[in-house]
Structure 1
Amino acid sequence: MNFEKIIDSYKDDIIKSTQELIRIKSVEGEPKPGMPFGEGPNEALEYALRLAESMGFETLNVDGYAGHADLGEGEEVVGVLVHLDVVPEGDGWTYPPYVAEIHDGKIYGRGAIDDKGPTIASLYAMKAIKESGVKLNKKIRIIFGTNEESGWGGINYYLKKVKAPNLAFTPDADFPVIHGEMGILIFNIEKKFERKCNCAVKINYIKGGNRPNMVPDYCEALLEVADEKKEFVKEKLDKFVEKTGYKLSLDDRGKHVIIKSYGISAHGSTPQAGKNAISQLIAFLGEVVECDCDASEFVKLYNRKIGMEYNGQSIGCGFEDSVSGKLVFNVGVIDMNEEEVKVSVNIRYPIKYKREDIYNGMEEELKGTGVRIVHIEHLPPIYIPSEDTLVQKLMSVYREFTGDYDSKPITIGGGTYARAMKNAVAFGPLFPGQEELAHQKDEYIAVDDLIKITKLYAKALYELAR
Structure 2
Amino acid sequence: MQTPDEEAKHRLNRIIDQDRDKLIESVQELVRIRSVKGDPKPSSPFGEGPAKALDKALEIAKDLGFRAANLDGYIGYAEHGSGEDYVAVLGHLDVVPEGDGWEHPPYSAEIHEGKIYGRGTTDDKGPAIAALYALKALRDSGLPISKKVRVMFGTDEESDNADVSYYLKREKPPFTGFTPDAFYPLVYAEKGIINFDIFRDLFEKTSGVEIHNIRGGVAANMVPDLAEAEFTNSDVDGLIRSCIEFADKTGYDIKAEKLGDSVVIKSIGVAAHGSTPEEGKNAIMQLMSFLGTLPLDDSSDISKAIYSINKMVDMETDGSSMGLALEDKPSGKLSLNLGLVNMTDEKIIFTINLRYPVTFEFDDVINPLKQIIKDHGFWVENLKNHNPLYFPVNSPLVKTLLNVFNEHTGSEEKPLAIGGGTYAKEMPNIVAFGPIFPGEPMVEHKPNEYIKIDELVLSTKIYADALYQLAK
Q: Which TM bucket (shorter chain)? A: over 0.9
Q: Could you say which residue in structure 1 is the equivalent of 2:197?
A: 188
Residue 205 (1) aligns with residue 188 (2): no
- Aligned in 2, Cα 1:218/1:314: closer, same or farther, shift over 3 Å? same
| Residues 366 and 30 of structure 1: CA distance in aligned 2, closer, same or farther (over 3 Å) | closer
Question: Which of residues 223, 229, 233 in structure 1 aligns to 2:231?
Answer: 223
1:419 maps onto 2:425 in alignment: yes
Pair 1:400 & 2:407 matched = yes
AA aligned to 1:190 is: F
Q: 1:32 — aligned with what?
A: 41
**Alpha-carbon distance between aligned partners in 2 of 1:438 and 1:79, rounded to the nearest angstrom:** 23
Letter paired with 1:258: V
Structure 1 partner of 2:265: 259
SS at match of 2:177: strand
Query: Percent identical across equivalent pairs?
Result: 47
The answer as to whether partners of 2:164 and 2:427 remain within 8 angstroms in 1 is no
For the residues of structure 1 that align with 2:447 and 2:294, how far apart are their CA atoms?
Answer: 31
* Residue of structure 2 equivalent to 1:164: 173
CA distance in 2 between partners of 1:367 and 1:284 (Å): 24
Shift of 1:264: 1.6
Matching residue's letter, 2:215: K
Secondary structure of 1:387's partner? coil
Contact 1:202 1:289 in 2 (8 A): no
Match of 2:5 in 1: none
In structure 2, what is the equivalent of residue 390 of structure 1? 397
Would the aligned equivalents of 1:97 and 1:109 in 2 still touch at CA under 8 Å?
yes
Instruction: Describe the SS at the equivalent of 1:179.
Output: strand
Write the distance in 1 (CA, Å) between the matches of 2:245 and 2:347: 29
Contact 1:289–1:296 (CA under 8 A) maintained in structure 2? no
Hey, what's the Cα distance between the residues in 2 that align with 1:146 and 1:289? Answer: 46
Aligned structure 1 segments of 4 or more residues deviating by more than 3 angstroms: none
- Distance in 2, matches of 1:311 and 1:445, equals 30
Is 1:317 aligned to residue 324 of structure 2? Answer: yes
Paired residues of 1:295 and 1:338 also in contact (CA < 8 A): no
Tell me how far apart the structure 1 counterparts of residues 29 and 381 of structure 2 sit (CA, whole Å): 40
TM-score normalised by structure 1 residue count: 0.97
Asked if structure 1 preserves the Cα contact closer than 8 Å seen for 2:206 and 2:296, the reply is: no
For residue 55 of structure 2, give the secondary structure of its aligned residue in structure 1.
Answer: helix
The aligned counterpart of 2:383 is 376
Deviation at 1:440, TM superposition (A): 0.5
Deviations 1:42-70 (A, max 9, x none): 11111111111122211111111101111
Contact 2:122–2:450 (8 Å) recurs in 1:
yes
- Do the aligned partners of 1:82 and 1:145 also contact (CA within 8 Å) in 2? yes
Distance 1:23 1:376 in 2: 33
Residues 163-219 of structure 1: per-residue CA shift (max 9 Å, x gap):
111111000000011001000000011111222212x22222101111111111111
Change over 3 Å in CA distance of 1:29–1:338 after alignment to 2: closer
User: Any residues of structure 2 matched to 1:107-122 within 5 Å, and which?
Assistant: 107-122=116-131
Residue equivalent to 1:337: 344
Q: What one-letter code is carried by the residue in structure 2 that aligns with 1:143?
A: M
User: 1:37 offset after TM fit, Å?
Assistant: 0.9
- Give SS of 1:149's match: coil
Judge conservation of contact 1:334–1:341 (CA < 8 Å) in 2.
yes
Aligned to 1:141: 150
SS of 1:252's equivalent?
strand
Describe the SS at the equivalent of 1:296.
helix
Kept in 1, the 8 Å contact 2:28–2:109? The answer is: yes
Alignment of 1:7-18 (within 5 A): 7-18=16-27
CA shift for structure 1 position 366: 3.1
How far does residue 338 in structure 1 lie from its aligned partner after superposition? 4.3
SS of residue in 2 equivalent to 1:332: strand
Alignment of 1:68-79 (within 5 A): 68-79=77-88
Match of 2:354 in 1: 347
Name the structure 2 match of 1:234: 240
Q: Distance in 1 between matches of 2:221 and 2:183?
A: 18
How far residue 376 of structure 1 moved from its aligned partner, in angstroms, is 2.7
1:259 partner letter: I
Aligned residue-pair number: 462
- Mapped pair 1:102 → 2:111: yes
Unaligned runs of 5+ in 2: 1-7
- 1:421 Cα deviation after fit: 2.2
Contact 1:212 1:344 in 2 (8 A): yes
Paired letter, 1:99: S
Distance 1:212 1:243 in 2: 29
What is the CA-CA distance between 1:241 and the residue it aligns to? Answer: 1.1
Contact (CA 8 Å) 1:220, 1:281: kept in 2 or not? yes
C-alpha separation in 1, matches of 2:432 and 2:370: 33
Which position in structure 1 is the counterpart of 2:13? Answer: 4
Distance 2:20 2:394 in 1: 35
Q: Is the 8 A contact 2:128 2:180 kept in 1?
A: yes
Q: In structure 2, what is the Cα distance between the partners aligned to 1:366 and 1:133?
A: 59
1:457 to 453, 463, 470: 463
State whether structure 2 residue 319 is matched by structure 1 residue 308. no
Distance in 2, matches of 1:358 and 1:313, equals: 12
Contact kept? 2:193, 2:355, Cα under 8 Å: yes
Q: Deviations over 1:313-343 (max 9, x none)?
A: 0012221111211111001110113431110
Contact kept in structure 2, 1:316 and 1:364, CA below 8 Å: no
Contact kept in structure 2, 1:77 and 1:140, CA below 8 Å: yes
